[in-house]
Amino acid sequence: MFLASILMASAVAAAGAEVPPGTPIVLIRVVRIDIFDLSDPETSAWPYRWANALHVLTQERFIRSLLLFREGDKFDPARVAESERILRDTGFLSPVTITSLPCEGGAEVVVETHDQWTLEVGVSFGMFGKRKHYGASVADDNFLGWGKTVDVGYDSDTERTSWTFRYKDPLLLGSRWALELEHRSASDGKTNAFQLEYPFYSLVTPRAGGIEWRKESLTDYLYSDNRKVVSGSVDRHHFLVWGGIRLPSNALYTNRLILGVFSDVARFADWRWVDGGAYPTPEGREMRGFQVGWDHQVDRWSVVRGFRSWQRQEDVPRGPNWGAFAGFSLPTFGADRTRIPLSGYFSIGSLDGSQYSWLNASATGRLEQGGMANSIAHLDVGTAHTGSAGWRARVAVDFGHNLDGDKQLTLGADTGLRGWDPDTFDGTSRALANVEWRHQLTGEVLHLGIIGVAIFADAGTTWNPRVGPSTEGWRGDAGVSVLIESTRAALLRIVRIEAAWPDHGKGPLILISSQSLF
């Protein structure tokens, strides 16, 4: 007992000692923990044993492949922190902790990961008032423990029914190349997509590049009062070859220069009102040319719990991060006329104690024929108290200008105005405000999930409608939610079951969704 106490005290002292940057890494130890700890009497019963037996534990080689350091490298706290983020970003490893301790000849680094359930065999259901979604699928986001996604699914919603096959390999043949394939056969057309890229997988990645191809043919719709009021066929073809380099930077920020050549073609036909009347067919586009972009990333992140979910670790950026991109579509390259597609983004966040606040802004559009076309400027500002209980609020605005004929910015339950059916209010610009108070009611129930409640209020407006009435001022609603966090499965984060009463006195509108509102 005395010897054991001495050894334990020595281990604690070693674990508490700091490893100076630059210390050689002599050993990397990966500790993989399954979904349930069978040594714990509370999770040793047969349902938990069966779940572990059916689940394939993430392969150690896959985990090591995502790390930004190897044995023999110099210890770098920034690379350790980014490696944690990369592992959590898989979606099926949480929590993740990487610790270091001095050892003979240098440092030992311990990587501890906790697996989440990823195999989905079953049916899905979602409801936003009158609009419902059904589906069935066999999918796994960590196929055989190698981090690959295999997904075969059936979906049925108000627009179409479809069968989809999707495959994604983030480490193709053990390399940093990533492959993604998709085929979708729908009641109104089909989609095929291919992507092969060597991404900027880290802030210090010196170069990246890839190729993208996508072709889709389908029927598109414009909505008013939750109904399809205009429909028409659309064919879209997209092709992009790009490459980028990391420019001279420092340990805090990264600048990247990105160049590419692209082709974007959209053709429209037979657009009509649902009553059969002719509707102006949107103008087709043939854009071909080259593009240039600049991306600026700052290595400021915080790890929080209780932001979107209560138990999971979440990485929130503090930035500021920004990017600007311009394309040059010219007749010389086969374009129908000169167009300059533009896009950009800016984001910044702050964590003051347990209060996380953010500002996200983006803009897209095309400069053509002396003016801007299809331009949308987006602004999202919010704040949330992280933890088991607290207030959160956000304001989101989309300013549209000279939108293409197939575009609209509607408002309803699917976009955050929860007292109205999806696509109730038409517009080419919109604004939305949400405020919510959440409270965690339970701990982990049966080691499967956490239950909480929320009360909320929403207000929104649209203007410059295209095919139906706008909100004609501000509309509001208020409601209550039951929130269920799935703590052991990567398939779902938060299930929201909500009832919202609109300001016109009717209701409530019932919503069931697995998507976080903000």
Q: Each residue of 44-59: pLDDT tens digit?
A: 899 999 999 999 999 9
Is the pLDDT reported for residue 280 higher than 80?
yes
The greatest distance separating any two alpha carbons of the chain, rounded to the nearest whole angstrom, comes to: 90
Give mean pLDDT, residues 305-310.
90
Pairing status of strand 106-115 against strand 25-33: parallel
Q: Each residue of 444-488: pLDDT tens digit?
A: 999 999 999 999 999 999 999 999 999 999 999 999 999 999 898
> Which range, of 209-218, 404-413, 437-446, 493-502, averages the lowest pLDDT?
493-502
Place of tokens 């109205």: 420
Q: What percent of the chain has pLDDT over 90?
A: 78
- pTM across the whole model: 0.89
Give mean pLDDT, residues 304-333.
94
Is the pLDDT reported for residue 16 higher than 90?
no
Residues 6 or more apart in contact with residue 250 via CB below 8 angstroms: none
Q: Each residue of 351-361: pLDDT tens digit?
A: 999 999 999 99
Position with higher pLDDT, 191 vs 161? 191
> Which range, of 8-22, 165-179, 380-394, averages the lowest pLDDT?
8-22
Is the pLDDT reported for residue 9 higher than 80?
no
Is the pLDDT reported for residue 2 higher than 60?
no
Residues 6 or more apart in contact with residue 222 via CB below 8 angstroms: 228, 229, 230, 231, 406, 408, 426, 466, 467
Residue type, 485: E
pLDDT-based confidence at 122, cuts 50/70/90? Answer: low
Tokens (6 digits) for 155: 């979906």
Phi-psi region of 193 (alpha: psi -120 to 50; beta: other; left: phi over 0): beta
Is the pLDDT reported for residue 133 higher than 60?
yes
Give mean pLDDT, residues 78-85.
95
Per-residue pLDDT, 129: 60
Per-residue pLDDT, 10: 42
How far apart CA 62 and CA 421 sit, in angstroms, is 44
Q: Which residue ranges does the chain devote to CATH 2.40.160?
A: 199-513
Per-residue pLDDT, 52: 92
Instruction: Select from 180, 186, 131 the least CA-distant residue to 153.
Output: 186
Give all strands (DSSP E) within 369-448, no chain letters. 371-385, 389-401, 429-440
Per-residue pLDDT, 273: 94
How far apart CA 304 and CA 311 sit, in angstroms, is 9
Contact (Cβ atoms closer than 8 angstroms) between residue 514 and residue 414: no
CB atoms within 10 A of CB 352: 8
How far apart CA 286 and CA 268 sit, in angstroms, is 12
Per-residue pLDDT, 15: 43
Residue type, 68: L
Distance between first and last Cα of the chain: 53
Architecture of domain 2-115: Roll (3.10)
Burial class (CB in 10 A: 0-12, 13-18, 19+), 475: buried
Collapsed DSSP state (helix, strand, coil) of residue 508: coil
Q: What dotted CATH number matches 199-513?
A: 2.40.160
Phi-psi region of 29 (alpha: psi -120 to 50; beta: other; left: phi over 0): beta
pLDDT-based confidence at 492, cuts 50/70/90? Answer: low
Is the pLDDT reported for residue 493 higher than 80?
no
